[in-house]
Amino acid sequence: MKTYTVKAGDSLWKICHRLGLDIEQIAQLNHFTKHSRHHLAIGQNLLIEGDSTAGDADSKLTLQLLDLASQPIKHPVLKVKHDGKEQEVKGNSDGLVTGLNITDISKGIEIFFKDISGKFVSIYKDGLVPLGEQFMTLQARTIKIKGNLTAKEGAQQQSQASIKGEIRKKNPPQPPKRPAGKDKLPPAMPQVDTEPYQKKVRLEDCKPVQVIAPIFTSENLRLAPVNEKYRKCIIETAKKYGLSPQALAAFMQVEAAKSRKGEWLENGKADSSSAVGLMQCLPRMWKDVSCDKQSKLYECIQKTKPAPSWESVLDWRTNAELSIDSAACYIQINLRALRKQYGLPVDSLNDVEKVKLAYLAHHEGAAGANSIIKNMLDDQMSKTFFAAQLGRRHGEALAKVYATKFDDKYRPAYRYWLAYDLVDARLRPDHFMVDPSSYQAARMADVFTKLGGPAVQIPHGKLAPTQRHPSPPKPPQPATRPDTPSVSQPAGTTEHWVDPLPHCIIRTAHLASKRSATFGMVRKDKDGKPRAHQGIDLQADVGTPLRAVANARVAIVVDQDKKPGKNYGKCVVLEVDLNDLPADKRAYCQSKLGPQETVYFFYAHMETVSVEKPTQSNPVFVKAGDSIGATGCSGNAAGMTTIAVGGHLHFEARKDPNPGLGLVGRFDPLPLIDNCRNR
């Protein structure tokens, strides 16, 4: 088997032209799709000639690494132990590793994943390798698997021939011909010819089960695929400083320099300050950490001979491991300062509350955090600080609008904003949990009172975001259709959000690019001029259930496709009180709406509508997650019956139920979606 290592400037066409190879044969040999053949990675190993021993191989493996959302992890680096040897391989942009030929299945297989430190961590081990060509998916789903993924200890050794015979009984070879009707891979998998691959590789009682890579769900920590490389470092650092990895990851998410795809950038640099590195460390913070004997930065300085200059130490901020360790260390530095210098009972707080307190101290300084907690700032100082936080251009005007909710007093307004709209809205450890069912929400306002400060004042006419309104009288029950959800009671102010579709993926079919399905001036008219797209398109087959995103009042129902082929067809508009949204989503909407207290969500191109039309005497209410109908192809989506031909939900966030033309009265709803797989 001959391989070629991809170098800078290489393309598949250039490689094949230079080596005199057939591009289609090489693409087939490496299982490239039409898309992935154009996305080679430097260091990737390409098969350029089949293995001379491949015909004698007992098993031929293709590996793929998927994240929690069943999306490929791009260019994974793996080490594979088989046949008594080790082989380092690199996957392509679809997470595929091809060309692994196992000649002795009785020796088993072990797969290692390369982490941020360059170390290989074992993610899969099996004492037996299934016969034939196999497609092994290492996926980060929380699926329970009966039995062990490794061979049982103490089992009697078997000969290779007996093992082969045993496996053949349970795992007969695939027929060489494809059966009638093409087998399709799951949507998240690249569309390649899998025959005679088996999508599942582990057999128990003659039934295949999914193979799981525990590294991607370890410690109940959920990371975006582009940040998976930081997993081990986050877990070890959190343990070192007595934090939960989810809380540390949430802190990183707030502070880290990020790419458009959400990747935390090691070499990030701030435009408006001297902050540098993954955690955007300022020189003063770096200095404080460098003096703490527990930090890795202190350890590195002591070990470096001759002693490094301060300028050299500042350059180390682009080292991801040092940056993550320094962030966790700085959390503890701030907590110590609040405990020792200001006498706050920090140890009475739980893990999440401590990180929230540390973030406030990081944002305001330890002295400033103490003043906020104890409500020591006067109104003028609060006004000055508040305006500065909200921005140079419009900060003063925005702070004034906010203060009107507190009888024009800036001190309670600023304290409320810090607690709910800064800390609670931004720092969300539950967003970094594979299973958030055990998460106990911690409000910054409660931290203030636990530390001896006065309660946070709530705006007039509002309740604290995690409290409920008293249940109002039940209005008259309107006549409902058989498929109408039994919801007619006004929603309380329970903070809850449910994505409009069970699986949210931005549409790509029949568009120039994914960008054309996003919000903004992203499309072109017949003359090639930019044209507005007023919401986002989420792919969906006709008949996919639609859900109310929050507790809401039904504002508009159009249940007839009056002009087929034109406009939005059947549609629904929901009116949501901002207090019924979680803090982070409320803060985002407030940034777009100003002092307005309601937001409207618009669902278009529906097939069926399962909520009644509201009237003045009979208002209709729904709860978050209630069914409001099903996706369709009404209006100008006519003919788009499946995802493959462009089927989708058009979803908008509006300031008014019936806004103007273009983008007037609308804003981007994508930041509100929790689980969009390809944002």
pLDDT per position as a tens digit, 544-571:
889 999 988 999 999 888 787 888 999 9
Instruction: Tell how far CA 428 is from the center of its chain.
Output: 12
Highest mean predicted confidence (pLDDT) among 34-38, 116-120, 498-502: 498-502
User: What's the per-residue H, E or C state across 278-305?
Assistant: CCCECHHHHHHHHCCCCCHHHHHHHHCC
Overall average pLDDT of the 488-494 stretch? 37
Share of the chain above pLDDT 70, in %: 77
Specify the pLDDT at position 131.
Answer: 66
Res 263 pLDDT > 70 = yes
Specify the pLDDT at position 254.
Answer: 84
* Band of pLDDT at residue 220, cut at 50, 70 and 90: confident
Buried b (16+ CB within 10 A) or exposed e, 153-188: eeeeeeeeeebeeebeeebeeeeeeeeeeeeeeeeb
Res 203 pLDDT > 90 = no
Specify the pLDDT at position 57.
Answer: 67
Share of the chain above pLDDT 90, in %: 26
Overall average pLDDT of the 11-18 stretch? 79
First vs last C-alpha separation in the chain? 39
Specify the pLDDT at position 575.
Answer: 93
pLDDT per position as a tens digit, 364-386:
888 999 999 999 999 999 998 88
Beta strand 45-49 with 598-609: parallel, antiparallel or unpaired? unpaired
Q: Which helix (H) or strand (E) holds 585?
A: helix 583-593
More confident residue, 473 or 23: 23
Q: Looking at 262-276, 295-309, 440-454, 611-625, which range is the least confident one?
A: 262-276
The number of CA neighbours under 13 Å toward the Cβ of 48 is 17
The tokens for 323 are 């940056």
Backbone angles phi, psi at 632, to 5 degrees: -155, -155
Res 464 pLDDT > 80 = no
* Band of pLDDT at residue 292, cut at 50, 70 and 90: very high
Q: Looking at 220-224, 406-410, 487-491, 547-551, which range is the least confident one?
A: 487-491
Mapped onto helix, strand or coil, the DSSP state of residue 432 is helix
Question: Shortest CA distance to 251 belongs to which of 273, 279, 230, 226?
Answer: 279
Specify the pLDDT at position 14.
Answer: 79
Query: What are the residue ranges of helices labelled H in 241-394?
Result: 245-255, 283-290, 296-303, 310-315, 320-340, 351-364, 366-373, 379-389
Domains of the chain: 51-216 (2.60.40.1120), 225-450 (1.10.530.10), 514-672 (2.70.70.10)
Question: Shortest CA distance to 646 belongs to which of 523, 521, 505, 533?
Answer: 505
* Band of pLDDT at residue 357, cut at 50, 70 and 90: very high
Q: Which helix (H) or strand (E) holds 234?
A: helix 231-240
Q: Residue written as tokens 């930090």?
A: 295
Answer for the pair 10, 41: CB distance below 8 angstroms, yes or no: no
To the nearest whole number, what is the mean pLDDT of the chain? 77
Specify the pLDDT at position 346.
Answer: 92
Overall average pLDDT of the 257-276 stretch? 78
Specify the pLDDT at position 35.
Answer: 65
More confident residue, 338 or 273: 338
pLDDT per position as a tens digit, 579-637:
889 888 999 999 998 878 899 999 999 998 999 888 876 788 888 888 899 999 999 89
Q: How far apart are CA 197 and CA 550, in angstroms?
A: 43
Beta strand 132-139 with 59-66: parallel, antiparallel or unpaired? parallel
Specify the pLDDT at position 40.
Answer: 80
CA distances from 475 to 573, 598, 620, 655 (A): 20, 21, 9, 27
Answer for the pair 30, 46: CB distance below 8 angstroms, yes or no: yes
**Angle at the Cα of 297 from the Cα atoms of 314 and 422, rounded to 5 degrees:** 75
Res 84 pLDDT > 50 = yes
Specify the pLDDT at position 188.
Answer: 32
Specify the pLDDT at position 206.
Answer: 39
**Angle at the Cα of 496 from the Cα atoms of 492 and 498, rounded to 5 degrees:** 125
Answer for the pair 574, 600: CB distance below 8 angstroms, yes or no: yes
* Band of pLDDT at residue 422, cut at 50, 70 and 90: confident
Specify the pLDDT at position 481.
Answer: 36
Answer for the pair 245, 352: CB distance below 8 angstroms, yes or no: no
Q: How far apart are CA 383 and CA 398, in angstroms?
A: 11
User: What's 418's DSSP letter?
Assistant: I
Specify the pLDDT at position 116.
Answer: 65
Q: How far apart are CA 476 and CA 490, in angstroms?
A: 11
Q: How far apart are CA 293 and CA 314, in angstroms?
A: 17
Question: Quick one: the chain helix, strand, coil %, rounded to 5?
Answer: 30, 20, 50
